[in-house]
Amino acid sequence: MQQSEPIVGAIEAGGTKFVCAVGSGPGERMLARAQFSTTGEPKALLAEVVDWLIGQQARFGPLAALGVASFGPIDLDERSPTYGFITTTPKPGWRNTDIVGPLRRAFPGIAVGFDTDVNGAALGEGRWGAARGLDDFVYITVGTGIGGGGVARGRLLHGLVHPEMGHIPMPVLEGDAFAGGCAIHGRCWEGLCSGPSIAKRAGKPAEELAPDDPAWDLATRYMGHALATLTYVLSPKRIIVGGSVRKAGRLGEAAFFDRTRRHLRAALNGYIASPALEEPGLSQFVVPPALGDDAGVCGAIALAHDALAASAAGSR
């Protein structure tokens, strides 16, 4: 059945690069992929992406739909004149950039799914990865920034705009004088645990830090606090942590997760009674993405499939 899933175009629009793919799912079902740097001008980049997708249509046939999982903040209100735009990003040159419009013009009449990069990754992990079979879970990316996508009762969380989990306020741990790295809030989660924030605190990139560097201890303690907040607020059945920081350089991914889980348990302090929050369950409660670094682009494929299904349902 899965082999007959329609072939779609997918764009994971990240802050440093756009990862594009054509296919129907992960692994062998991804027929082609390409990567484009975001250092240039947005319009030129989008034109390059469109050209690449048109080239793939010549190889694989017409694309059934497009999916875009984008860095944000983005406008997801379909009644808004700036629907499909990246809005108030601090990324130079990218404020108020129309992402969906150029795609609609280049591929008239086909469904375009659009959501945040992390909502996309959550969808991808739910369909093919570490959250298969779960209706309530969270996907977090901890990299250049921090963001989270949530699924509740099988549906992506949206609302006023979309969740911005990376900017939740954080406690000050004893003896920590670091002012934080977020341009907007200073010491929010992103301001304490993103790659650039860890580097700013430590004076060198996270991947160069020794395994016993106190910066890792602080970062994983703050991770524990943030995941406790998400656990209290959203009551997820699993939290998937993707992004580059989780690989944790010389500390290693396994140790990063061990410490984060231990600090999560300490922060919860036994308040929520669930075997998922005690070992061995805890090891399955906080996990890396099963799709690895492809979670985002697979999520964009899933967004395209959902947009196609929604448009088919609408025209029925």
Q: Which residues bind Zn ion (CB under 5 A)?
A: 167, 182, 184-185, 188, 190
Rounded least distance, CB 224 to Zn ion, Å:
18
The least CB distance from residue 208 to Zn ion, in Å, is 25
Read off φ and ψ for residue 255, nearest 5 degrees. -70, -35
The smaller minimum CB distance to Zn ion, of residues 184 and 254, is found at 184
Smaller CB distance to Zn ion: residue 84 or 180?
180
CB nearer to Zn ion: pick between 56 and 194: 194
| Count of residues making up the chain | 316
Between residues 42 and 147, which has the closer beta carbon with respect to Zn ion? Answer: 147
Distance CA 249, CA 266 (A): 24
Q: Hey, is 241 helix, strand or coil? A: strand
Nearest to 148 by CA among 170, 120, 112, 171: 120
- Residue nearer to Zn ion on the CB measure, 36 or 222: 222
Strand partners, 149: 139
In the Cβ-directed half-sphere of 218, how many Cα atoms lie within 13 Å?
26
Minimum CB separation of residue 90 from Zn ion in Å reads: 10
Least separation in angstroms between residue 8's CB and Zn ion is: 33
Residue type, 29: R
How many beta carbons lie within 10 A of that of residue 286, not counting itself?
25
Task: Name the one residue in this structure whose structure tokens are 């395994």.
Answer: 211
Smallest gap from Cβ 164 to Zn ion, in A, equals 8
